[in-house]
Copies of this chain bind each other. A is one copy, B any other.
């Protein structure tokens, strides 16, 4: 079904949707309830949050087992690991972009 599309393209599509990266980030320290996630994500609307959680569940990045709340799968954690260097890059980026105003 999705054989023709490269994996990287699909995941970039998914990660480009609003709140997706943020949700993964918020789940970094363990499970959260639906409403906890909602608050953490600047009170994102439940409609959108639920849509995103569905996407993330079918993408096997997030799970929701009974009484455990939403939490990352192993695959989801690995993605966080991949993203880790982005933090350092972002610091440098902010320095550069603030040279203009400061």
Q: Which A residues form the contact surface with B (CB < 8 A)? A: 1, 6-8, 10-12, 15-22, 25, 59-60, 75, 78-79, 82, 85-87, 89-94, 96-97, 101
Contacts and interface: CB of A to CB of B under 8 A. Distances in A.
A16 B82 CA distance: 16
B17 A22 contact: no
Contacts of A90: 6-8, 10-11
A59 B97 CA distance: 7
Number of copies: 2
A16 B7 contact: no
Contact of A75 (B7, B8, B93): B93
A11 B75 contact: no
